[in-house]
Structure 1
Amino acid sequence: MDWQHDGSTRHRWVAEVLEQLLAEPHEGPAHPPESFCKVIDHLMNPADALNEGLDRPNALRQLNDALMREGFEAFYGEDKHCYLRHVGTNTVSVLAKNPHRPLSAAEMQRRSALAAFLDTCSEDELIEQVLLPMFRQLGFHRITAAGHRDKALEYGKDIWMRYTLPTQHFLYFGIQVKRGKLDAMGKSRAGSANIAEIHQQALMMLAHEIFDPETNRRMLVDHAFIVAGGEITKAARNWLANVLDASKRSQIIFMDRDDILNQFVVTSLPLPERAMPAAPTPPLSTVQPPF
């Protein structure tokens, strides 16, 4: 059958292929299958634009007319790839990203802008505007930040969250966040925190239960993230490893400034508002008078 000359047959064939792609395994209703996302990105390649600009507004509008009925929206990222966003949760469906790969020029600019933001942000801004969106995008669920109001009941955790394994079992994570550098000095310097303080908070985090309202159960934290907006020195890591017993040592995960920057950039998340580059000021010759 020469389906290339039969429009209805071709449409049925395309529909069947799309149904097969959408039937593939995926993480949940907010994440379409990876193969479907690859097809969308390939079909929306800016190089294939015809009678429109590289941002393909006409093609994007037609695509979104169909996607919006299913609760999704297509958009172009700064890397010129087309992504899908779940409207209800604002979750972006991206292909598996390697934070250790070489970054593009655009990604390096985003990394520099985010690094400048980390230099001046508060601990709450680091949590709410960087870490929470990043962990959601990485597939964690039930992400709950303690906030300053609940510090008395926090038990060493700034954030707790849950990760669902492919077997549908849950792992629980607690996160202790420090805005600046973590070192092993006997006394904390300005802008840095002593790892001995983190040690006590990590032990408290691992020893106290958290309540998961979705399962209506109290659970112990399986792993503790130690997250710093600055460097976590080698001396600090070694000190903590030496004072923890073998079982506790395996439960500690470090994430420092470089890890945050690389993970955030490769997942194509929007930068915090204060990290966005300022719009250039138009030359005086182009400014129109208000009358």
Structure 2
Amino acid sequence: MEFRKRTLERLGDLICGNLGSDALRGDAEPPYFHYRSSRYITEFFGDLDMDWEHDGSTRHRWVAGVLECLLAESHEGPAHPPESFCRVIDHLMDPADALNEGRDRPNALRQLNDVLSREGFDAFYGEDGHCYLRHTGTKTVSTLARNPHRPLSVAEVQRRAGLAAFLDSCSEDELIEEVLLPLCRQLGFHRITAAGHRDKALEYGKDIWMRYTLPTQHLLYIGIQVKRGKLDASGRSGAGNAEHPVHPDQRLRRSSPGQMLQL
């Protein structure tokens, strides 16, 4: 999706807070958007989990370049701007950032729509307090919910490539410490303990122990055996390898110490 250069620079002015005068003289309007210096422009995009960092160039033109990149991302059609661009507009129009007017921000909304109308869109507040974009021709509203099946953005593709490169080269301990432990903490597990692999004699134990508290306040204790490569029950191949199924007619028997039960 492409917007006119003038439109992008006008949006850049709104994000940078370049419009309005602090001192009311004659017909001058007060500012309705907060002024953002270089640092706060970077923070504006950082709040949206975007990795854009202002390079010190002209602020509204730099923001226009960022918006142009966001509009170039994959989207559903001409009536639906990319989801990342919609999130920028919603963040810009946060009711908590109202300046010189009420939380419904009628003047800020008017200035924004003066710009968006050139591209066939208008912005409005929903009942949930978020600001949405509507295509004026089809009356189609762009939602803010992330679609898990949407095409990945450029930044997400780069992060996925970095993760894939790390997983291809990391050791088992690095996999545990750099990926699994932070993931388990993020999911709400606590008292997480990693055994490590300094002593190879301890390979047959659990690599991770952790605890999870249910809403009933009951505790679940969970142990994880981590394998980065092939799933082997022992160093042998064939029936001693967890990758090779054993015929179901075989009776249950206990394997030697350090090996798994086989069926």
| TM-score calculated relative to the size of structure 1 | 0.34
Higher relative contact order (CA 8 A, sep 6+): 1
More helix by share: 1
In our comparison, the structure showing a higher alpha carbon Rg is 2
More strand by share: 1
